[in-house]
């Protein structure tokens, strides 16, 4: 991480320090520290020229903190003695900048220590443009997602069509059976499925985050949305939709509309041209509309065309945002068409915006009819 | 979830409502709502007789919220319109109880709306004693951990001893290779490895949360600590230590000490007898000391004998706490002995304290020498 933006923010706001407190589930903290942390509170304190970055962690995690923390000082104490907020408050004075969602008790410790606290969104701003190192990590996780997708597609391609059901490996295939196989494949690649493997069949595809268990039948859309997390904390994000034994009709038309919508987005993705994020959504919606689907609700296109991905699965910018695209933004491009009575189709790639055009971090074929794939396709 | 304790707390504190705000990574919120939520803020509002429990969520997650939320009212709004804290503040007045770690901006919204806010630890207290439904869920995740352990033990038992290395499936075995196989096995059982699969070899066993990659050799302690998370959010926790081709010596003595220490803890685990949690730690430490190892530092026993497990991997009570054991507490019992130069041994079971004695949610053999096991042993 480059401390430059923190330094500038302290200077511009005439502030003395930046403080954040949280646990291992706080993505801002993981971004700031590189520390994969414990599930107990720890604190990050930055005071620029006065000493740089300090990590306050329970003593039990000292070894891990010294290995992982990118800053200068690791301060340890017994977990029971003082909270992370209390310890951070001992290290700072004057005006302290904090993220607006800092735990309330940490804010109170800072105030009790005589600090004036002001909120800042500097970390959110820092996270928007990824470094090449971050992009490499995200790309590695996307590879694990692709291995998971290859497994799912291969299972679907080799399933036997029964009387209204699909059978695989001697049993009827369900969304949960397929989810477990996909999660195992991603885990084997070193990524954590992290509970967000969305697999829907027919109606449940219209539930954008379906994680339940329903049978998968022939002729039904099977929507697979994989968002594993890599060892450094970065996410991948990849969606494909397949139909075994498709009879064409609605899903074929929806698939073509979504493919064309994704292509339309790709045509405008570039930082140099001053393109606004919401224009990317606009292009996909227009294409979906041209194929006769509603571009802004159900049945039709019910969500935004994409979002930022990094240390959080969903982060800035949304492709509905009124801000210009910038080089280094990592974005999903994921148009979709849904009909609660017929099914749902979504195709999602993960890309990085470049000064001219974009780079697709996804290298996975688009095909409505499932094929047998090797784990690197 | 039983609302009784929230009602009592509101009454005793003469308060009008309870509010919490957070995202899907907030375990208190998941406990209160049953909602597996989005990675955007949502709010839980409880005002007892005035309406019960309300969940405020972005509209995008309405379907999921209506399916999962255990309370009465789901309130949806566009994510961009108002924050979860702002929406919660519109629903309450008077004195509002909040967890001390509620996001600071949510606390400010409540104050701006004229509420007096006071912190409460009622949710932490509610979570300490598990219901039979929670115990069943935890037990199910522990089964997935056992399947992972059986895989790991089988790999070790079938590894070939080379010149200072172990080989498995044609390649040298490392902690990361073994970790990926174990994670895949747990994923196939429907549990998420969630980035906390600790596997150390020799020296790295003394790093209590080692997730790095080092070769595994014969005669080395291999410490495997599995903490998968199940679909309802509950964790399991299971540790075993193996040595392939052990020559006895330090690790054999450490293993016996740790086994006896665990047995000593089991003998005093019971709610009826007024046993204090810290006495359980005391029993394990005494036994470890009796075998000639330091009971309170390195080299020796460097951590507590156990902790609560539930919607968080580490939650109250610690087995160092000065509080009586209560029926329904789910606890790890995990004595360990470590020497940064020789290795580390830890054995960990997950148990539920009963009125008389305890019930072991773990059904996995203890053996220093790895055996081939079936996935249900």
Residue A77 has a pLDDT of 85
CA B344 – CA B301 distance, rounded (Å): 10
Burial of B307 (0-12, 13-18, 19+ CB in 10 A): buried
Residue A48 has a pLDDT of 85
| Mean residue pLDDT across chain A | 94
CA B278 – CA B304 distance, rounded (Å): 9
Residue B75 has a pLDDT of 87
Burial of B169 (0-12, 13-18, 19+ CB in 10 A): exposed
Sign of torsion over alpha carbons A15, A21, A24, A28: negative
Among residues B266, B292, B301, the alpha carbon closest in space to that of B280 is found at: B266
Q: How confident is the model at residue A73 (pLDDT cuts 50, 70, 90)?
A: confident
CA B107 – CA A4 distance, rounded (Å): 31
Share of chain A above pLDDT 70, in %: 98
Which tens digit of pLDDT belongs to each residue from B295-343? 999 999 999 999 999 999 999 999 999 999 999 999 999 999 999 999 9
Contact, B164 vs B214, CB < 8 A?
Answer: no
| Chain B CB contacts of A207 below 8 Å | 63-64
Q: Is B61 on the interface with A (CB under 8 A)?
A: yes
Which tens digit of pLDDT belongs to each residue from B237-273? 999 999 999 988 999 999 999 999 999 999 999 998 8
CA B225 – CA B349 distance, rounded (Å): 10
CA A325 – CA A356 distance, rounded (Å): 11
Interface test with A, best of B57, B66, B181, B195 (most A CBs within 10 A): B195
The verdict on whether omega for the bond into residue A285 sits within 30 degrees of 0, i.e. cis, is no
Q: Which residues of A79-113 are buried (b: 16+ CB within 10 A; e: fewer)?
A: beeebbbbbbbebbeeebbbbbbbbbbbbbbbeeb
A214: Cβ contacts below 8 Å, ≥ 6 apart: A174, A175, A200, A201, A202, A204
User: Hey, what are B252's tokens?
Assistant: 């054999």
Residue A174 has a pLDDT of 97
The verdict on whether omega for the bond into residue A73 sits within 30 degrees of 0, i.e. cis, is no
| Mean residue pLDDT across chain B | 94
Q: Is 80 exceeded by the pLDDT of residue A216?
A: yes
B114 sits in the region (left: phi over 0; alpha: psi -120 to 50; else beta) called left
Q: Is 80 exceeded by the pLDDT of residue B345?
A: yes
Q: Is 90 exceeded by the pLDDT of residue A93?
A: yes
What is the rounded average pLDDT of the residues A4-13? 95
Q: How confident is the model at residue B375 (pLDDT cuts 50, 70, 90)?
A: confident
Helices (H), chain A: 4-12, 27-33, 62-68, 84-91, 104-112, 122-128, 132-158, 175-188, 250-268, 277-290
CA A318 to chain centre: 12
What is the rounded average pLDDT of the residues A349-356? 98
Residue B63 has a pLDDT of 84
Residue B98 has a pLDDT of 98
* Beta partners for residue B168, in sequence order: B171
Q: Is B209 on the interface with A (CB under 8 A)?
A: yes
Of B40, B104, B312, the CB nearest to A314: B40
Q: Is 90 exceeded by the pLDDT of residue B3?
A: no
Contact, B323 vs B122, CB < 8 A?
Answer: no
| Chain B CB contacts of A39 below 8 Å | 312-314
The C-alpha R_g of chain A, in whole angstroms, comes to 23
What is the rounded average pLDDT of the residues A292-312? 97
Contact, A123 vs A99, CB < 8 A?
Answer: yes
- From chain A residues 301-330, the ones with a CB under 8 A of any chain B CB are 303, 312-314
Interface test with A, best of B79, B101, B127 (most A CBs within 10 A): B101
CA A222 – CA A166 distance, rounded (Å): 12
| Chain B CB contacts of A314 below 8 Å | 38-40
Which tens digit of pLDDT belongs to each residue from B165-205? 999 999 999 999 999 999 999 999 999 987 789 999 999 99
- Contact: A103, B98; criterion CB under 8 Å: no
- From chain B residues 165-194, the ones with a CB under 8 A of any chain A CB are 176, 180-181, 183-190, 192-194
Q: Is A211 on the interface with B (CB under 8 A)?
A: yes
Q: Which residue in chain B is spatially nearest to A104 when comparing CA positions?
A: B104
Q: How confident is the model at residue A265 (pLDDT cuts 50, 70, 90)?
A: very high
What is the rounded average pLDDT of the residues B8-35? 96
CA A186 – CA A142 distance, rounded (Å): 10
Which tens digit of pLDDT belongs to each residue from B83-122? 999 999 999 999 999 999 999 999 999 999 999 999 999 9
- Contact: A207, B105; criterion CB under 8 Å: no
Question: Domains in chain B and their CATH numbers?
Answer: 4-127 (3.40.350.10), 132-360 (3.90.230.10)
Contact, A106 vs A113, CB < 8 A?
Answer: no
CA B305 – CA B88 distance, rounded (Å): 40
Q: What is the DSSP string of B178-208?
A: HHHHHHHHHHHTT-B-TT--EEEEGGGGGST
Which tens digit of pLDDT belongs to each residue from A306-332? 999 999 999 999 999 999 999 999 999
Q: Is 90 exceeded by the pLDDT of residue A261?
A: yes
Q: What is the DSSP string of B236-304?
A: --EEEEEETT---THHHHHHHHHHHHHHHHHHH--TTTT-BHHHHHHHHHHHHHHTT-BSSSSSB--S-
Describe the crossing of helices A250-268 and A277-290 by its angle, rounded to 10 degrees: 150
Residue A377 has a pLDDT of 62
Q: Where are the beta strands (DSSP E) in chain B?
A: 17-22, 42-46, 53-58, 73-77, 95-98, 116-119, 160-161, 166-168, 171-172, 198-201, 221-226, 238-243, 307-308, 315-318, 330-333, 336-339, 343-346, 349-353, 358-360
| Chain A CB contacts of B344 below 8 Å | none
Only one residue has tokens 């009008």, namely B16
Higher pLDDT, A75 or B344: B344
Contact, A238 vs A149, CB < 8 A?
Answer: yes
Q: Taking the CB of residue A356, how many other CB atoms lie within 10 A of it?
A: 10
Ranges A34-38, A50-54, B178-182, most confident: B178-182
Q: Is 70 exceeded by the pLDDT of residue A1?
A: no
ipTM: 0.94
What is the rounded average pLDDT of the residues A130-156? 98
The C-alpha R_g of chain B, in whole angstroms, comes to 23
- From chain A residues 248-307, the ones with a CB under 8 A of any chain B CB are 303
Burial of B248 (0-12, 13-18, 19+ CB in 10 A): exposed
- Contact: B105, A98; criterion CB under 8 Å: no
Cα→Cα distances B152→B155, B188, B226, B368, Å = 5, 14, 11, 13
Among residues B74, B76, B83, B77, the alpha carbon closest in space to that of B104 is found at: B83
User: Hey, what are A223's tokens?
Assistant: 């929507």
Higher pLDDT, A70 or A114: A114
| Chain A CB contacts of B194 below 8 Å | 192, 194-195
**DSSP assignment letter at B129:** S
Higher pLDDT, A82 or B359: B359
What is the rounded average pLDDT of the residues B137-156? 98
């Amino acid at each position: 991480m480059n401390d430059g933006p923190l330094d500038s923010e302290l200077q511009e706001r005439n502030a003395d320090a930046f403080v954040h407190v949280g646990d291992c589930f706080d993505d801002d903290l993981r971004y700031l520290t590189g520390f994969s942390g414990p599930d107990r509170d720890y604190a990050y304190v930055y005071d620029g020229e006065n000493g740089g970055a300090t990590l306050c962690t329970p003593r039990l995690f000292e070894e891990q903190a010294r290995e992982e923390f990118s800053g200068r000082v690791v301060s340890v104490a017994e977990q029971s003695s003082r909270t992370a907020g209390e310890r951070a408050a001992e290290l700072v004075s004057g005006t302290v900048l904090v993220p607006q969602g800092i735990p309330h008790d940490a804010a109170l410790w800072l105030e009790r220590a005589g600090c004036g606290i002001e909120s800042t969104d500097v970390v959110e701003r820092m996270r928007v443009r990824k470094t090449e190192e971050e992009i490499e990590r995200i790309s590695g996780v996307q590879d694990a997602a692709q291995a998971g997708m290859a497994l799912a597609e291969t299972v679907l391609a080799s399933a036997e069509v029964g009387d209204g059901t699909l059978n695989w490996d001697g049993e009827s295939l369900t969304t949960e059976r397929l989810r477990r196989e996909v999660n195992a494949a991603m885990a084997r690649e070193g990524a954590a499925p992290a509970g967000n493997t969305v697999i829907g069949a027919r109606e449940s595809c219209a539930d954008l985050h379906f994680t339940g268990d329903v049978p998968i039948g022939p002729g039904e859309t099977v929507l697979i949305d994989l968002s594993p997390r890599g060892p450094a904390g970065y996410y991948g994000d990849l969606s494909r939709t397949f139909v075994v034994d498709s009879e064409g009709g609605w899903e074929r038309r929806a698939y073509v509309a979504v493919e064309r919508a994704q292509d339309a987005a790709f045509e405008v993705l570039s930082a140099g041209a001053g393109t606004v994020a919401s224009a990317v959504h606009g292009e996909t919606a227009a294409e979906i509309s041209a194929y006769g689907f509603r571009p802004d609700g159900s049945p039709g296109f019910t969500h935004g065309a994409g979002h930022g991905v990094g240390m959080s699965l969903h982060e800035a910018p949304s492709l509905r945002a009124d801000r210009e695209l910038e080089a280094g933004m990592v974005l999903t491009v994921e148009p979709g068409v849904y009909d609660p009575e017929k099914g749902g189709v979504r195709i999602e790639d993960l890309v990085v915006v470049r000064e001219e055009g974009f780079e697709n971090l996804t290298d996975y074929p688009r095909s409505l009819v499932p094929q047998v794939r090797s784990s690197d396709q």
